Amino acid sequence: MQIKIFTIPLLSGDAFVEEMNVFLRSKKVLEVKETYVPEGYWSFVVRYVDDIAATDRERIKVDYRKVLDEAAFERFSAYRKIRKEVAEKDAVPPFAVFTDFELAEMAKCAPLTIKAMKGISGIGERKMEKYAQYFIKTGQDEKGE
């Protein structure tokens, strides 16, 4: 596990926020702790892992409520329900449909598109063919399309 600290000023901090968001999207984030500093900035401590083996992923428990923003967490929760239904229908374990990590990455995309799903690590053509339709449809319904 590694730690990275971001300091973002309250005023004119857009570039710093974007830098942090790029970093967060590129890592397996375990936890983010934020602290307001009275001198006029926010401090974010990010616990993450860089490269993890498939067996390590199963051992690391991530609290996605802390990692995702509120809207993304709502999408993540909806995707978990869909995953459970699809897994029961296909008689496979839920992680065989999509892992929590994959669902979290999908939840970060608003709206969720085929192109976005193809860019997520772990989602290949087979999963796209079998399962994308259930999740893309739901993402579009949330937007009223």
> Taking 80 as the threshold, does the pLDDT of residue 90 lie above it?
yes
Give the residue-averaged pLDDT of 24-29: 81
Whether 143 shows a pLDDT value over 50: the answer reads no
Predicted pLDDT at 145:
37
What pLDDT was estimated at residue 59? 60
Domain 68-142: give its CATH architecture.
Answer: Orthogonal Bundle (1.10)
**What is the average per-residue pLDDT within 25-49?**
88
Closest CA to 102 of 84, 127, 133, 85: 127
pLDDT at position 144 is: 37
Count of positions (residues) in the chain:
145
Q: At residue 61, does pLDDT exceed 80?
A: no
| 3 state SS of 10 | coil
Domain boundaries, the chain: 2-49, 68-142
Q: Is it true that the peptide bond before 111 is cis, omega within 30 degrees of 0? A: yes
pLDDT band at 54 (very low <50, low <70, confident <90, very high): very low
User: Distance between CA 93 and CA 76 in Å, rounded?
Assistant: 18
